[in-house]
Structure 1
Amino acid sequence: MLTTHPFDDDKLREECGVFGIWNAEAASAMVALGLHALQHRGQEAAGITSWDGHQFHTHRAMGHVAGNFDRDDVIRKLPGNVACGHVRYSTAGETALRNVQPLFAELSSGGFAIAHNGNLSNAIKLRRELVRRGSIFQSTSDTETIIHLVATSAYRTLLDRFIDALKRIEGAYSLVVMTPEGMIACRDPLGIRPLVMGKLGDTTIFSSETVGLDVVGAHFVREVEPGELIVISEGAMRSIRPFAEVNPRPCIFEHVYFSRPDSVSGGTSVYSVRKAIGAELARESPAEADLVIPVPDSGVPAAIGYAQESGIPFELGIIRSHYVGRTFIQPGDQVRHLGVKLKHNANRALITGKKIILIDDSIVRGTTSVKIVQMMRDAGAAEVHMRIASPPTRHSCFYGVDTPERAKLLAAQMTVEDMARYINADSLAFVSVDGLYRALGEPGRNPERPAHCDACFTGDYPTHLTDHEELSPPIDQFALTAERFVA
């Protein structure tokens, strides 16, 4: 089996998106709409939990939101005016219904539902401690660790127990939590993963991205601040900041690839930033060429920016079909090779005899780039120059992004010149780290106080990596066991 997204197979993938609604008629139906807008953040599974004032109701399913939550019979079984939802993409951990979120547990204080975007970098260590103390886990998700920490906390109130749990975890998390007492939305102190708040009349909405607010007609109020807990109960909303203040480090790759281009992140249009990255690329790494061609769809805004800055015409030299299913059974190598063209095909009449500049958002293993360059050469391109709208990805992410181990990252093993030869391009260049920051409206990266988490480019991790650094054997050897956790 091969995915029919051959140019998406070699991408870094955000692992999930969350959406929550307080005080809305048909709350679960609105959550389903929000999850549709966040589908790009997780395409493996989806779930919704609702609260009707008396009990919790949950439906979780493998696959996309469409087909699972666009049916009246499903939504009718999720009554109530409070609901939260989750879309999931896992890493090498187990793909199973028991890991699909929101996760739910009956605690001494009542029901507790949690949806998590991110990854806890000390989940394995905490899980081992909890199991030794008698906790019984039902999933292989790091998110369940939070539930057990809340359940075993010595504090009296549920809110204090939840804060106590948060103070024991490290890594990245944006959470939406539902209890009989109300809803809690929070971000880790560094704000690595995004979370925004919106309003629709008297309804309060939380979403991983602003596009989730757009789809339900809500207006953006503000971001949930790094280290902030927003607690909503009957007739009241309050903000709590239980952590010591630190320099925020939101994930810079949200601007490069993860977020939808029509989202606003950190007060800035994602689309505008991607165009600005393309313009930086044109200034830093010009090339003599006839056409600028994006790798669809993620390379389009940067390619527009590159074309506008360089004066080289922008053209769609790769045509993407939007009518191909997610997977395709392929019985042999020949059919497997042809299957690549189900999703993308070269615009041969445009490309033949032309010097082209290909714009893509990133290079991970390099397998995608090899296919793209070869496709252009097969279509008759005279020269193929590749420009990448992010710096070289040389380090793995431990904060909720599916990244290969470092040994499989092409940029960690080769120089840029060697990479160009490997993908068979006439030239290859990446935007610089400072250029990426300039595209965000900053003068460059301040190494003493970086404004973003850019560890995948720089190796400058903003938190401890307990499971990776302290446990033996190393974390990557747990990839196929129950101790490899994903949000």
Structure 2
Amino acid sequence: MGGTSVLNKLNDECGVFGVFDRDDHDVAFLSYIALYALQHRGQESCGIAVNDDGVITAHKDVGLVPDVFNKDVLAKLGKGQMAVGHVRYSTMGNASRSNAQPLYIRHIKGPMVLAHNGALVNARELREELEMGGAIFHSTNDSEVIAYMITKERLQCGSIEEAVERAMKHLRGAYSLVIMSPTKLIAARDPNGFRPLCMGTLDNSTIFASESCALDSLGAKFVRDIEPGEIVVVDKEEERSIKTHCGHKCNMCVFEYVYIARPDSVIEGSSVHEARQRAGAYLALQHPVQADVVIGVPDSGLDAALGFAKQSGIPYGVGFIKNRYVGRTFIQPTQVQRENAVRIKLNALEATVRGKRVVLIDDSIVRGTTSARIVDLLKEAGATEVHMRISSPPFRNPCYFGVDVDSRDKLLACRMSEEEMARHIGVDSLGFLSVEDVQKIAGIPGSEFCVGCFTGNYPIDVPGEMPKDKFEQKISKKQK
């Protein structure tokens, strides 16, 4: 994923949305509200495509939802009967308008719109195969590879859903898709179920979304999660399910529960808010400490801090005030400005931490620079001790399925022991959640989450490590 947040945290994911309207709703406005709810999953670019009796109108650009869409833009999109929306962090492909989604493909069998959350592990091979067959790519993202694979199959079969089913035989990796043809809305999820995708209803209309919080924002009713490998097809007559690729156990990315998803979402029947509290409770049992107050780093560290406080009996406190008007794509031109940017985003609350032994809860440590700055803020505010607890295991491996866990040489845990990391960050002690416990936080018996970024053991074969920026440079040279 491209782009660096002001806190240099992991970039999230992408968020997808689709609606098939049977009640004369304003589908462009519904998409706008839903994308607002999914904004946490992608803050680089966004887009909406509206289908009005087979005529598709789309708008997308770099920026947050309220920056890209206003009343006039939504009016130009029209009401229509179907719509697809997307918010993006770049898993593959840089942050540019050409890489924004949803993708709009025109071909001899008719137009198609596609929104994708995830990342393919065989995107490079498929792209080269398609290029050798004459395909011309307009972006550097792997979502266009998926769109072309579906289009290629569409020329050989009778329906768009059959094309999706056939294309899925060639796709390896993570993909939650919402696809729109002139007459149908389709949702599809990879056979491992790496990324979430759910289905709901609003009156008589059908909705697909990455997370249930988007349904809540519309007043829609949650129906169920799309099964791993399932294709759901919606048209004027009916809704039907294709389960040719179903049968594999769900390998949901456990980091959805740790950091990515919104706390008010429910994924695979498990509350994200409760999962994070369980993570904090497990941390308290695994890494007990004598302290005066427990605080969390906003936002994903807050629920885990509550869980730690409840389990340990140490009082919970509000340790930071977050400036919510600073976007995660805030640009810092110089190194000095980058290092000071954390002060713009977070300010330690002196009344909570002065003279106190503080337990600081965060969701992860990637390169360690942000953690060190946050610890400095606490000490400057008067904390006498800072004991850091992380609600995930150490990152030791890259993620190939959509989370921006970079190459091993950039990961602090690959270069230092936990004791060295503690000294580097400047904390009195440091403790991570164990791999065993992180797999239990969702409370789903028999679950087999993907924890490859922690262990190096992935649910499917992954390619040899190639830094993302080098792959993008290779693509860019080809396009010149």
Please classify the TM superposition score into its range, dividing by the shorter chain length.
Answer: over 0.9
Q: Determine which of 274, 283, 286 is the counterpart of 1:284.
A: 286
SS in 2 for 1:341: helix
2:386 and 2:428 in contact (8 A); partners too: yes
Which residue does the alignment assign to 1:411?
413
Q: Equivalents in 2 of 1:335, 1:165: separation in Å?
A: 46
Q: Equivalents in 1 of 2:299, 2:467: separation in Å?
A: 36
Q: Equivalents in 2 of 1:441, 1:333: separation in Å?
A: 42
Measured against aligned partners, the alpha-carbon deviations of 1:87-128 in whole angstroms (never above 9, x if no partner) come to 011147322211111101112221111000001110111111
1:122 and 1:170 in contact (8 A); partners too: yes
Which residue does the alignment assign to 1:480?
473
Task: Name the Cα RMSD after superposition.
Answer: 2.2
2:309 and 2:316 in contact (8 A); partners too: yes
- 1:268 Cα deviation from its structure 2 partner: 1.1
Q: TM-score, normalised by structure 1?
A: 0.92
Q: Equivalents in 2 of 1:75, 1:394: separation in Å?
A: 47
Distance 1:77 1:361, change over 3 A: same
1:46 and 1:85 in contact (8 A); partners too: yes
Q: What code does the residue aligned with 1:236 have?
A: E
Q: Determine which of 175, 185, 188 is the counterpart of 2:187.
A: 185
Which residue does the alignment assign to 2:40?
40
Which residue does the alignment assign to 1:341?
343
SS in 2 for 1:439: coil
Measured against aligned partners, the alpha-carbon deviations of 1:209-253 in whole angstroms (never above 9, x if no partner) come to 000000111010000111000001112110001225222201111
Q: What code does the residue aligned with 1:157 have?
A: G
Which residue does the alignment assign to 1:20?
18
Q: Equivalents in 2 of 1:195, 1:130: separation in Å?
A: 28
Which residue does the alignment assign to 1:95?
95
Measured against aligned partners, the alpha-carbon deviations of 1:10-57 in whole angstroms (never above 9, x if no partner) come to x22223100000015211110111000000000000001111013111
Q: How many residues align?
A: 472
SS in 2 for 1:305: helix
Q: TM-score, normalised by structure 2?
A: 0.93
Which residue does the alignment assign to 2:162?
160
Q: What code does the residue aligned with 1:146 have?
A: I
- 1:171 Cα deviation from its structure 2 partner: 0.3
Which residue does the alignment assign to 1:131?
131
Which residue does the alignment assign to 1:455?
452
Q: Equivalents in 1 of 2:469, 2:57: separation in Å?
A: 36
Q: Equivalents in 2 of 1:260, 1:428: separation in Å?
A: 26
Q: Equivalents in 2 of 1:318, 1:250: separation in Å?
A: 31
Measured against aligned partners, the alpha-carbon deviations of 1:394-418 in whole angstroms (never above 9, x if no partner) come to 1111111122111111112222111
Alignment of 1:313-392 (within 5 A): 313-324=315-326, 337-392=339-394
In the alignment, structure 1 segments of 5+ residues that lack a partner are none
Q: Equivalents in 2 of 1:140, 1:296: separation in Å?
A: 33
Q: Equivalents in 2 of 1:143, 1:4: separation in Å?
A: 21
Query: Which one scores higher on RCO, CA 8 angstroms, separation ≥ 6?
Result: 1
SS in 2 for 1:66: helix
- 1:479 Cα deviation from its structure 2 partner: 4.1
Q: Equivalents in 1 of 2:452, 2:167: separation in Å?
A: 26
Alignment of 1:41-120 (within 5 A): 41-91=41-91, 93-120=93-120
Q: Equivalents in 1 of 2:408, 2:331: separation in Å?
A: 30
Which residue does the alignment assign to 1:260?
262
- 1:67 Cα deviation from its structure 2 partner: 2.5
SS in 1 for 2:257: helix
In the alignment, structure 2 segments of 5+ residues that lack a partner are none
Measured against aligned partners, the alpha-carbon deviations of 1:172-222 in whole angstroms (never above 9, x if no partner) come to 000000002311101000110000000011100000000000011101000
SS in 2 for 1:364: coil
Q: What code does the residue aligned with 1:13 have?
A: N
Q: Equivalents in 2 of 1:156, 1:138: separation in Å?
A: 25
Q: Equivalents in 2 of 1:91, 1:243: separation in Å?
A: 24
Q: What code does the residue aligned with 1:453 have?
A: C
2:278 and 2:304 in contact (8 A); partners too: yes
Q: Equivalents in 2 of 1:191, 1:61: separation in Å?
A: 28
SS in 1 for 2:67: coil
Q: Equivalents in 2 of 1:457, 1:146: separation in Å?
A: 28
Measured against aligned partners, the alpha-carbon deviations of 1:308-336 in whole angstroms (never above 9, x if no partner) come to 11111111122212234556666766665
Measured against aligned partners, the alpha-carbon deviations of 1:354-398 in whole angstroms (never above 9, x if no partner) come to 111100011111111111111112222211100001111111111
Distance 1:6 1:113, change over 3 A: closer
Measured against aligned partners, the alpha-carbon deviations of 1:241-292 in whole angstroms (never above 9, x if no partner) come to 1225222201111100000001111101110110111011001101011111
Q: What code does the residue aligned with 1:460 have?
A: N
